[in-house]
């Protein structure tokens, strides 16, 4: 069962952190730079040694929402917008 945060939303467990990073096409180092944390911290989250807390949760949520918006528009963050006809 997925862990739940204070608001009852799905928590940021190891699998969710990794899935979000991979969906964005980022390395651990690239995600760490965006969040203002060390690469080792992202690695620890993905291995389940620690869970993101506080501001890191807020930033992860923002990055995930941004990715979802881009995906909905057919936009690959690394490649730019899809060019249609």
- Break the chain into its structural domains and give their ranges: 14-73
For the chain, 85 residues long, the average pLDDT of each consecutive 10-residue run is 46 94 94 96 98 95 86 64 44
Question: Looking at residue 9, what is its pLDDT?
Answer: 56
Contact between residue 12 and residue 48 where contact means Cβ atoms under 8 Å apart? no
pLDDT value, residue 27: 97
Q: Do 48 and 37 form a contact (C-beta atoms < 8 A)?
A: no
What is the architecture, at CATH level 2, of domain 14-73? Orthogonal Bundle (1.10)
pLDDT of residue 68: 83
Prediction pTM value: 0.71
What tokens appear for 20 in the block?
């979000």
């Amino acid at each position: 069962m997925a862990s739940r945060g204070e608001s009852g939303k799905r928590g940021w467990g190891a699998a969710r952190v990794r899935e979000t990073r991979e969906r964005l096409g980022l390395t651990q180092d690239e995600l760490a730079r965006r969040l203002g944390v060390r690469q080792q911290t992202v690695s620890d989250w993905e291995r389940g040694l620690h869970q993101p807390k506080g501001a890191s949760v807020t930033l992860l949520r923002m990055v995930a929402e941004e990715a979802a918006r881009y995906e909905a528009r057919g936009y690959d963050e690394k490649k730019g917008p899809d060019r249609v006809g």
